[in-house]
Structure 1
Amino acid sequence: MKKTLLLLLVILLLIPLSPTAKANLSTKKEIFSMLQEAFQVQVSLSERTRTKEEIYDLLNPYFSEAYQKLFWKESVFEEKGKFITYGSDFALFYIPFFHYSDKTKVIFLPESIYVFEFFPATIDGPVGYEDHFEGVLLRKVDGGWKVDEYLYNNIPDSILKKANISK
């Protein structure tokens, strides 16, 4: 009985209490999975009010500190001493609504990963927009990959060229 409890305790100590930044992202599939998780975390912030610490703990595995500050300023609101996000058809600093297909381009560089997609103009629905590129830039932060920049029509030409796209 004591051996079983000791083994269980050792296993529990080895399991991290919260997710950490992804140390290795070497395939599109891994990147897509990480970004989908990050998006779900952002969406979950609208489910109920939370403390600043709770929100930080949820965002930290996926987003750099600088990105979190931008997201916080744009999307997080205080309610009775706690914090929440509200839904929006045009929410800045959320992971874009990627198709997670061949339309979604991933460009690997030694110190960064560009993930972006072209979104054609639309006038349907309550929000219309012109043709544009939207994406995120991942960088190594504290030994793991995190979303560090939101990209809206500011993908460098050299990156578009690597993706075989011309403006």
Structure 2
Amino acid sequence: MKKSLLILLALILIMPLSPNANVDINTKDEVFKFLNEAFKVQVSLSEQTRTKEEIIDLFNPYFSKNYQKLFWNENVFEEEGKFVTYGSDFALYYIPFFQYTDDTKVIKTPEDIYIIEYFPASSEGPVGYDDHYEGILLKKFDGAWKIDQYFYNNVPNSILKEAFQKD
């Protein structure tokens, strides 16, 4: 009886507190999967209005509190006491439209994961842009990786050098 209780307690302690908890991200594919899931959460906010609490619950497994605040201030609008996002060709703080190929660079340090991609200039479509780098920074919060920063042409030079030194 004592032994089974001890085993049960040990299992409870090692189980993640959230079904979406990500104790570690070890591979490029795991990083890409995480970013895709986070992007789907962002896009889902345009499908229906939600309460502030519902949005926070959706965002918590993927985004730091600071990033949530930035995204909220830029993209979330109130409609009849609930909240929604609207479509845009250039909305800040969304996960960039990475190719998720070898062109998408993942630089992992013990404290951070940088995801960076170079986007050549485009004049096609309703929104044009110059050559630039876009990126996301993942940091660990309470043992889980979360998106904490968005880069648009302000990726640290040391990270750019490491990411593109082999190209």
Structure 1 unmatched runs, 5+: 1-14
**1:138 touches 1:145 (CA, 8 Å); kept in 2?**
yes
Aligned to 1:120: 120
Output one character per residue of 1:124-152: Cα deviation in whole Å (capped at 9) or x when no partner. 11000000000100000111000000011
Aligned to 2:141: 141
Letter of the 1:158 partner, please give it. S
State the secondary structure of the residue aligned to 2:164. Answer: coil
CA distance in 1, matches of 2:21, 2:139: 11
Change (3 A) 1:144 1:162: same
Cα offset for 1:163? Answer: 1.3
Q: Which amino acid in 1 is paired with 2:52?
A: K
CA deviation after TM superposition for structure 1 residue 157, in Å: 1.2
Q: How much has 1:21 moved relative to structure 2?
A: 3.6
Q: What is the distance in 2 between the residues matched to 1:50 and 1:17?
A: 24
> How many angstroms does 1:20 deviate by?
3.4
TM-score by length of 1: 0.87
Q: Deviations over 1:82-140 (max 9, x none)?
A: 00000100010000000000010000011000001000000111000000000100000
Deviation at 1:16, TM superposition (A): 7.3
Task: Tell me the matched-pair count.
Answer: 153
5+ residue gaps, structure 2: 1-14
Counterpart in the other structure of 2:23? 23
- Calculate percent identity across the aligned residue pairs: 67
Q: Which amino acid aligns with 2:142?
A: D
- 8 Å contact 1:74–1:92 — kept in the other structure? yes
What is aligned with 1:52?
52
Instruction: State yes or no: 1:132 paired with 2:132.
Output: yes
Q: Kindly report structure 1 stretches of 4+ aligned residues shifted beyond 6 Å.
A: none
Q: Any conservation in 2 of the 1:21–1:146 contact (CA below 8 Å)?
A: no
Cross-structure match for 1:111: 111
The aligned amino acid for 1:69 is K
Q: Per the alignment, do residues 46 and 18 of structure 1 end up closer, same or farther by CA in structure 2, a change over 3 Å counting?
A: farther
Distance 1:33 1:86, change over 3 A: same
